[in-house]
Amino acid sequence: MTAEIAPWTGSRRLLRSLRDVMAGPGTPQQRLDQIATLIARDLVAEVCSIYVRRAGDILELFATEGLYQDAVHRTRLMVGEGLIGFIAAQAMPIALADAQAHPLFAYRPETGEESYSSLMGVPILRGGRVIGVLAVQNRTQRSYADEEVEILETIAMVLAELVAGGDVISPEEASVGQDLGALPQRLEGLSLSPGLARGTAILHRPRVTIDRMLSDDPAHESERVLEAVAAVHGQLDAILERPDLSDAGEHRDVLEAYRMFAHDRGWLRRIEEAVRTGLSAEAAVQRVQDDTRARMAQVSDTYLRERLLDFEDLTNRLLRNLTDDSFDDNIQLPHDTVLVARSLGPAELLNYDQTRLRAIVLEEGSTTAHATIVARALDVPMVGRVEGLLSRVETGDAVLVDGDNAVVYLRPSDDVHANFDAALDARGERLRSYRGLRDRPAITKDGVSVSLQLNAGLLAEMNHLYDTGAAGVGLFRTEIPFMVRAAYPDVATQTEFYRRVIQEADGLPVTFRTLDIGGDKVLPYIRAGEEANPAMGWRATRIALDRPAMLRHQLRALLMANDGGALSVMFPMIAQVAEFDAARRLLDMEVAYLRERGLPLPDDIRVGVMLEVPALAMQLATLLPRVDFVSIGSNDLVQFLFASDRGNPRLEGRYDPLSPAVLTFIAQISEACRAANMSLTVCGEMAGDPLAAMALIGIGIRELSMSPANIGPVKAMTLSLDLATMSSYLETLLTSSAPSIRSRLKAFAHDHGIVL
């Protein structure tokens, strides 16, 4: 026990000395110098250097013990340059026994650092921003222990108060981005939830100010942490008991999963450890949060990153409890709030008064994050991955959010406002006109009927069946409810969920796709390990056939949920007939299982296949007699036809689905299905693009399934289309050598009054 406590005692003493220096006499420079000396002595390092970030992303050596004093204020590195710049750019600590051997080592002769081998450096963080770097060096090739890195991080945190305090450099300079002032800005990001909105920026959870960083009474601080944790548990329980979350919807699942993190032992242990180093309870929580945030930058696993965001949400709650900060986010919340945050947890989002929330803009965020799923279900436009957002926006700024095109305008000028007004009006007008088409069947001018269906994956999306007038759900992506859960849902939970989906469909057909996980859709309870090509890896039905229990449970739940009705189920990512046969056998086994037990079954079971892998199209003659319907997943099919990763931004736009190759390929499938009298749907993004939908109808497709917002535009196109004329023109284009026939189709549509 004593051995465990010993290192912390040392660090506590150091923190106390640092506090004395920081509060003591002398100029800021003198205090920084003393601090460098103290740290070097305490950590038994020959060198301790403090770099401060100046405007223009420059890291300037502000104080050093051990390097040549002449280098102070002379040695400057850009963020990203050398090891010090790397620490700042990555917001990550590094510890190297032989720093000079590192490819990023940048030699600065004026410092005399050639005599030192090892280096340990940590970012100085303030509000999640890197405001400097603290580094120690040793002559010998010393391997720094993890605890030493943690101690240096704690010191850096205390140092951050001094650096950001305004004495070391001016507060204006310390606030990166200040020079961007109140100029209008146009920022681009990633569209997470569609729609347009204007409003007033509200910074989510402005940083809690910590008045007391250090404490001499770790036991008392520990007690305070435990009390605050208990309070957070109580608050989360209260949210879960809210009547609007009382049903079995996804919100509740999301929150249940999230609440589990509040009980995470590792997280609490790290806070306790930080308290033992001599930090106050709130400083310890902040310290662990800074560390988590820094580590997050290095995590590539999407699921893990999103769970780390949940921790950030929790730490903010803890901090607010510890500092008695108000929890009511809605106090003085304007009626047109545009919420601006680095990241957002699902519970945080639900804490805001939804009647006042117009849009959300995030510096981070991702398409499958819990908060994104909730925002979409709530119909709130959301743009994420906006670089440098928090350094550019202040509470009260006017903001325009275009969730359709992933653009955010800050403090827009009058003409941008005017253009946005026009876009809003046009959107409103369009939505009204689409609503007017709701009850009109989608029939071309020459009388060909087309079935327009919906893609969905959330219970909350099912109501779009009614506002769009869609013919049914052509693709229900069942993996989404699995992704927001912390553990694999059992058969009863799945049955209940599918039953709700069927109820919401109110008699309209729903085609359930079995789990399509893998690739970018990661489940916490299934680990595929690193894959070089995840899109072509262990995913979807491949996983299901290797782990048949999972698919069997899902099929059992689907059968039970449809008792007495009609079940349509399809298998994704089938590459060969034998895989379909194997999946189908599992379904037959489940039917037999339920029958043996005298349990009710659907009256009608339709079994389909998704055509997403080109190889399957070469086996249609063998495949078609075995299936009840085929659905083309054009997103995957196109990526495999062109060998072009659909998620790679560098290939974005390089290959057009509106190309002779893709259309000829789909036309052949369509022809084979027509000859076999087989139902064929296209359910990838292509189906929802009015121009591409026009081409698909032109080559014989009669069923299209798309996201809710696209039903109106595709219906308007269909109603204005003379199919016979268009398809004979299209036929002439299919032999073209051009990579894309998009512009020619557009010109045709324009000349023939086709509404796009």
For residue 569, what is the DSSP state? E
DSSP letter, residue 584? H
Binding mask 248-277 for ligand PEP (x = CB under 6 A): ------------------------------
CB of 251 to ligand PEP, least distance (A): 22
If the CB atoms of residues 32 and 686 are measured against ligand PEP, the closer one turns out to be 686
The minimum distance between CB 484 and ligand PEP, in angstroms, equals 16
Task: Find residue 64's DSSP bridge partners.
Answer: 49
Nearer CB in complex with Mg ion: 296/610: 610
Binding positions for ligand PEP, 440-469, rule CB under 6 A: none
Closest-CA residue to 446 (of 642, 726, 90): 726
Distance CA 108, CA 110 (A): 6
Distance CA(347)–CA(329), nearest Å, equals 12
In degrees, to the nearest 5, what angle opens at C-alpha 749 toward C-alphas 746 and 751? 110
684 binds, among Mg ion, ligand PEP, none (CB under 5 to 8 A by kind): ligand PEP
Q: Does 685 bind Mg ion (CB under 5 A)?
A: no
Q: How far apart are CA 225 and CA 274, in angstroms?
A: 11
Applying CB under 6 A, among 148, 291, 310, 516 the residue interacting with ligand PEP is: 516
Yes or no: say if 182 and 43 are a contact pair by the CB < 8 Å rule.
no
Q: Binding segment for ligand PEP among 102-110, 495-503, 633-641, 722-730 (CB under 6 A)?
A: 633-641
d(CA 88, CA 100): 18
Nearest of 277, 299, 298 to residue 288 by alpha carbon: 277
For ligand PEP, which is the closer residue by CB, 608 or 633? 633
Annotate each residue in 285-324 with x if it binds ligand PEP (CB under 6 A) or - if it does not, as one string: ----------------------------------------
Q: Which CB atom, from 43 or from 613, has the smaller least distance to ligand PEP?
A: 613
Minimum gap (Å) between residue 253 Cβ and ligand PEP: 20
Is the Cβ of residue 276 or residue 477 nearer to ligand PEP in the bound state?
A: 477
Q: Residue 47 or 475: which CB sits closer to Mg ion?
A: 475
Q: How far is the CB of 653 from Mg ion (least distance, A)?
A: 20
Residue keyed to tokens 């659905």: 631
Name the segment binding Mg ion (CB under 5 A); options: 79-87, 382-390, 433-441, 630-638: 630-638
Q: Which does 683 bind (CB under 5 to 8 A by kind): ligand PEP, Mg ion, none?
A: ligand PEP
In the complex, the smallest distance separating the C-beta of residue 511 from Mg ion, rounded to whole angstroms, is 14
**Closest CB to ligand PEP among residues 82, 572:** 572
Could you tell me the smallest distance in angstroms from the CB atom of residue 684 to ligand PEP? 3
The contact mask relative to ligand PEP for 586-625 (x = CB under 6 A, - = no) is --------------------------x-------------
519 near Mg ion, rule: CB under 5 A = no
Q: Could you say whether residue 662 binds ligand PEP (CB under 6 A)? A: no
* Cβ-count burial 292-324 (b if 16+ within 10 Å, e if not): bbbebeeeeeebebbbbbbbbbbbbbbbbbbbe
Q: Which residues are part of the catalytic machinery? A: 370, 683
| Shortest Å, Cβ 687 to Mg ion | 13
Specify the amino acid at residue 237: D
Q: To the nearest whole angstrom, how small is the minimum distance from the Cβ of residue 579 to Mg ion? A: 15
> Which of 29, 90, 100, 635 contacts ligand PEP by CB under 6 A?
635
Task: Find which of Mg ion, ligand PEP, none residue 708 binds, CB within 5 to 8 Å per kind.
Answer: none
Chain residues 677-696 in contact with ligand PEP, contact rule CB under 6 A: 683-684
| Kind and range of the H or E run holding 627 | none
Q: In 3-state terms, what secondary structure has residue 37? A: helix
Query: Is residue 636 within the footprint of Mg ion (CB under 5 A)?
Result: yes
Q: Which residues contact 517 (CB under 8 A, 6 or more apart)?
A: 479, 482, 483, 523, 526, 539, 540, 543
Assign residue 157 a region: left if phi > 0, alpha if psi is -120 to 50, beta otherwise?
alpha
Whichever of 666 and 730 has its CB closer to ligand PEP, that residue is: 666
User: Which residue type occupies 191?
Assistant: S
Q: Are 314 and 262 in contact (CB under 8 A)?
A: yes
Binding segment (CB under 5 A) for Mg ion, from list 63-71, 271-279, 529-537, 606-614:
606-614
Q: Does 633 bind Mg ion (CB under 5 A)?
A: yes
Q: Point out which residues pair with 513 in neighbouring strands.
A: 477, 570
What is d(CA 610, CA 570) in angstroms, rounded to the nearest whole number?
A: 6
CA 51 to chain centre: 33
| Options 193-201, 229-237, 625-633, 721-729: segment touching Mg ion (CB under 5 A) | 625-633
Q: Which stretch binds ligand PEP (CB under 6 A): 137-145, 243-251, 628-636, 654-662?
A: 628-636
Label the pairing between strands 118-126 and 129-138.
antiparallel
Which partner from the list ligand PEP, Mg ion, none does 363 bind, CB cut-off 5 to 8 Å by kind? none
**What amino acid occupies position 212?**
R
> Cα 363–364–370 angle (5° rounding)?
130
Q: Which helix (H) or strand (E) holds 63?
A: strand 58-65
Per the listing, tokens 């280096």 go with 119
- If one asks whether residue 634 binds ligand PEP (CB under 6 A), the answer comes out as yes
Tell me: does residue 194 bind Mg ion (CB under 5 A).
Answer: no
Instruction: Return the number of the residue (345 or 633) whose C-beta is nearest Mg ion.
Output: 633
- The rounded distance, in Å, linking the Cα atoms of 95 and 83 is 10
Q: Which residue has the tokens 């739940």?
A: 557
DSSP sequence for 298-346: T---HHHHHHHHHHHHHHHHHHHHHTT----TTTT--TTEEEEES---H
Burial of 261 (0-12, 13-18, 19+ CB in 10 A): middle
- Among the listed ranges 61-69, 153-161, 636-644, 651-659, the one in contact with Mg ion (CB under 5 A) is 636-644
- For the record, the structure tokens of 452 come out as 């327009």
**Minimal distance, residue 616 CB to ligand PEP, in Å:** 13
Residue 634's binding partner out of Mg ion, ligand PEP, none, with CB under 5 to 8 Å set by partner kind? ligand PEP
Choose the one of ligand PEP, Mg ion, none that binds residue 477, judging by a C-beta under 5 to 8 angstroms depending on kind: ligand PEP
Report, in Å, the least distance between residue 479 CB and ligand PEP: 8
Q: Which stretch binds ligand PEP (CB under 6 A): 293-301, 621-629, 634-642, 731-739?
A: 634-642
Q: Which is nearer to ligand PEP, 366 or 634 (CB)?
A: 634
For residues 567 and 529, the answer to whether their CB atoms sit within 8 Å is: no
Question: Which residue lies nearer to Mg ion by CB, 316 or 478?
Answer: 478
Q: Is the Cβ of residue 371 or residue 704 nearer to ligand PEP in the bound state?
A: 704
CB-based contacts of 635, cutoff 8 Å, min separation 6: 612, 646, 684, 685, 686
- Give CA–CA dist 466/454, Å, rounded: 11
Residues constituting the chain: 756
Q: Which stretch binds ligand PEP (CB under 6 A): 283-291, 444-452, 557-565, 627-635?
A: 627-635
Closest distance between ligand PEP and the C-beta of residue 439, in Å? 27
Site for ligand PEP contains 703 (CB under 6 A): no
Interface with ligand PEP: number of residues (CB under 6 A):
10
**Identified binder of ligand PEP from the candidate list 633, 688, 698, 713, rule CB under 6 A:** 633
DSSP state of 210: P
For tokens 């999230």, name the residue: 258
Tokens describing residue 209: 């100010």
The span from the CA of 122 to the CA of 148, in Å, is: 11
Q: What is the DSSP string of 493-539?
A: HHHHHHHHHHHHHTTS-EEEEP---BTTB--TT------SSGGGSS-
Point out which residues bind Mg ion (CB under 5 A).
612, 633, 636
Point out which residues bind ligand PEP (CB under 6 A).
475, 477, 516, 612, 633-636, 683-684
